[in-house]
Amino acid sequence: MTMETHLLICSASPGLGALALHRLGGDTFMSSITPNPSFLAASTKTKMIYVASEKSKGSGRVTPVELNAERLSARTAQATGGNAAVHLCLDRTERFLFVANYQASRAPGDASLSAFSLSDSGDISNPIARFTHHGTGPDKRRQEGPHCHCVAISPDNRRLVAVDLGADRLFSYAFDSEAGRLSPKGETKTPEGAGPRHAAFHPNGRMLYVTGELDSTLLAFSVSDDGLQLAARMPATQHETDSRNYPSGILTTPDGHHLLVANRGADTIAVFWIDPQSGLPTLKAEYDCGGAFPRAIRFDRAARRLAVANQKSDGVALFAWDFADGKLSAEPTNIVPVKAPLDMLFVNPQ
């Protein structure tokens, strides 16, 4: 497998923000083709990259971006029907796109979750569904209303989970990729005040792992046809911090043996071992994140390199991942200087 040669980075640089295309070991090209970039998703089929714009005033939007010869070009953007498009994901067929809108309570009918079909060329086509979440939590500042923060599709492509920090809920949807249909399937309450942020399915689809941003926890849910059931709740970090810790990014290794969580406050990457029978995680080690306030974490396609977006230290730290031992390198192998990085992807220009 060819290793990716570039990093595409969402930067909250002064003003409207920018996309940074960094050639690993080389230079960085900055582009302002889409405003307020917050999160990325890439199609392996069309090579299109989808960029969510976290714009709190006015409608959020998603922009398809082509990467050719180390240059970025934007195609027609699509309004998401809500404000602050903060997260997105593709379905497993890469024919549909799901978007989480963090601000969906500014006007009646604002969408917390939007879904779109994609054309064969990767353009954003017709909206197939939009849903508005409801609910609040005990944190009056952060949970005064719904704040959808993440969308995650199950490995079998039949269940979509929308994680809502403001409502303290996981909203489940049944997905039919043949019909292009998304329909509500139930709600699961998280512990009060958890503030669920991001989620990752286990590769076998039997567990869902969720970071609790507001109570600094990792939540594990068993997955069945009957819904989601809380199976474990544990601290996201064992480090003492002077201020609150806010867990953020989360991912599982492709082999399903480990789970990684970014901790903002503790400034660590926590590595959990996953029991192969129960699917429950156990904290194995914590590593310094190579900066401050790690927001997103991403593996390359081979899962040999981990990128960490350290928002408050203006850099993306790269670590080596040892598959055999389930360990990160003790120190970053490289730090890419970028103003306030929010998310990134390993890419290969065509």
pLDDT at 107 (0 to 100): 66
DSSP 190: P
Q: What angle do CA 261, 234, 159 make, to 5 degrees?
A: 65
DSSP 311: G
pLDDT(238) > 70: yes
Q: Which 3 state secondary structure label does DSSP give 312? A: helix
Residue type, 305: R
DSSP string, 242-264: SS--EEEEEEE-TTSSEEEEEEE
Cβ contacts of residue 221 below 8 Å, gap of 6+? Answer: 170, 188, 207, 208, 209, 210, 228, 229, 230, 231
| Cα 277 to Cα 231: distance, rounded to the nearest angstrom | 13
Convert the pLDDT of each residue in 26-67 to its tens digit: 999 999 999 999 999 999 999 999 999 997 666 789 999 999
- Rounded mean pLDDT, 222-245: 95
Convert the pLDDT of each residue in 129-173 to its tens digit: 999 999 999 999 999 999 999 999 999 999 999 999 999 999 999
pLDDT(201) > 90: yes
| Cα 29 to Cα 68: distance, rounded to the nearest angstrom | 13
| Cα 343 to Cα 61: distance, rounded to the nearest angstrom | 17
pLDDT(77) > 90: yes
pLDDT at 79 (0 to 100): 93
| pTM (global) more than 0.85 | yes
DSSP string, 114-168: EEEEE-TTS-EEEEEEEE------S-TTT-SS--EEEEEE-TTSSEEEEEETTTT
H/E element holding 307? strand 305-310
Find out whether 276 and 244 touch, Cβ atoms under 8 Å.
no
Residue of 285, 284, 283 whose CA lies nearest to 233? 283
| Cβ-based neighbour number of residue 147 at 10 Å | 27
Residue of 106, 51, 103, 39 whose CA lies nearest to 78? 51
Task: Let me know how long the chain is.
Answer: 350
pLDDT at 150 (0 to 100): 98
pLDDT at 59 (0 to 100): 79
| Cβ-based neighbour number of residue 32 at 10 Å | 14
pLDDT at 315 (0 to 100): 98
| Cα 302 to Cα 311: distance, rounded to the nearest angstrom | 25
pLDDT at 105 (0 to 100): 63
- Rounded mean pLDDT, 203-210: 98
The owner of tokens 């990467």 is 67
